[in-house]
Structure 1
């Protein structure tokens, strides 16, 4: 079974949704048969590589949200994050364009495998929301890359070029074709879509449903029976 997750490094609900989905997957009987692929999405592609301001200033200036309203919103998100074991610190968050970070995830998957891509995604989200690191910085990306099994100089080389840019743009285009307009967004076997950081129970239900529908029909026969039971067919009964 394949699960594709469109999300952005700069999306606080994406990290919370990741944790809730992981909780559901951990309790799923067939979790070893589930392939999870991270897809790229950007909430604000126009954001410069480096923004000289706080998260509150960014959301207030570029999104037009009232600072007083923002305080309540960020407090609520921080509480929700704490509920799944995450320690958000919006006070020291570095606002940065996430495009380079998305390219790192694609690099990790291509050269080190799915587990490395997942580890890169986790490290980038933690760096952004918990550690106050600049996820647009080549130094930060190289260090994260080294932790997930990549050569840091290879990461620097990718950051300095447009390598994996097309792969990220393909994810963007695919999101548009699927009608995805917000993240996180989870797609199971290209049949089920789940929007937002839903409760773990909903993810668990979706996994169970998708798995049951994907499996071939299983015959149920009494233990003592040695043949099919009485039935009718084209030749009669």
Structure 2
């Protein structure tokens, strides 16, 4: 899926069963519901979807375990793209500039409704492969959710360049990670296979756009749904596990 289609379509979709996925549900009513989330740092819907999902969990009577997974919306993006977000979508992706301007304006308003301050004028479009490797490093050290939040905010709200090792190290240290260790692993490509495995699993599930939420390995929700939808799915997962 190209970036332009992702901006327009990632919020569409509802819960549906995932085919060819082994159902390994633990029937204990007290266990957390595992939610695997495929997303990209460069996906505006993913930050909005993250906020809506967090609101759903905060208002839901139960425990949730979250794990983020890698997905590159535009793997052909250069690390150092010279130009604005309008330039990227209009020239690199062939979209109409006026349509892009309108789309980004609407996205900014929707983000603000979730308490997010998107700044597309400052945004530094880049390839997100290294950022995904950094997130796997953070997962290995118990700080994946913290770094995910930091990277999304850095990218969409602060105009930081999340495609460079130096910037990723700086942002990682802000959430308590060992910057020197991260630098070594990024330069060595230590977590590149983990990123590739996530993307391969997304293909196996038939995921074409993000955010995409997988509940207990058997129920998929596509897009930045309303909190009420996420809560309904959580209730459904628990009810089906207890049946």
Q: What TM-score bracket applies, with the shorter chain setting the length?
A: 0.7 to 0.9
Structure 1 counterpart of 2:27 = none
Structure 2 counterpart of 1:230 = none
Structure 2: runs of 5+ lacking an equivalent: 1-32
Is 2-11 or 144-153 further displaced after alignment?
144-153
Are 2:55 and 1:28 aligned?
no
Are 2:82 and 1:52 aligned?
yes
Are 2:230 and 1:192 aligned?
no
Are 2:41 and 1:9 aligned?
yes
Are 2:187 and 1:179 aligned?
no
Shift of 1:159: 2.0
Structure 1 counterpart of 2:97 = 67
Measured in 1, the distance between the counterparts of 2:181 and 2:201 equals 27
Rg larger in 1 or in 2? 1
Shift of 1:157: 1.2
Deviation string 1:106-162 (CA, Å, 9 cap, x unpaired) is 00111x21xx10011000000000000000122211112112221111111122121
Structure 2 counterpart of 1:88 = 118
Measured in 2, the distance between the counterparts of 1:133 and 1:158 equals 21
Runs of 4+ in 1 over 6 A off after TM superposition: none
Structure 1: runs of 5+ lacking an equivalent: 218-237
Measured in 1, the distance between the counterparts of 2:182 and 2:241 equals 38
Highest RCO, 1 vs 2 (Cα 8 Å, sep ≥ 6): 2
Measured in 1, the distance between the counterparts of 2:185 and 2:81 equals 22
Measured in 2, the distance between the counterparts of 1:155 and 1:59 equals 31
Structure 2 counterpart of 1:235 = none
Are 2:176 and 1:144 aligned?
no
Identify which of 150, 153, 156 aligns with 2:180: 153
Q: Secondary structure at the match of 1:15?
A: helix
Q: Secondary structure at the match of 1:160?
A: helix
Measured in 1, the distance between the counterparts of 2:167 and 2:239 equals 42
Structure 1 counterpart of 2:68 = 38
Identify which of 40, 44, 51 aligns with 1:19: 51
Q: TM-score, normalised by structure 2?
A: 0.85
Measured in 2, the distance between the counterparts of 1:138 and 1:169 equals 19
Shift of 1:164: 0.2
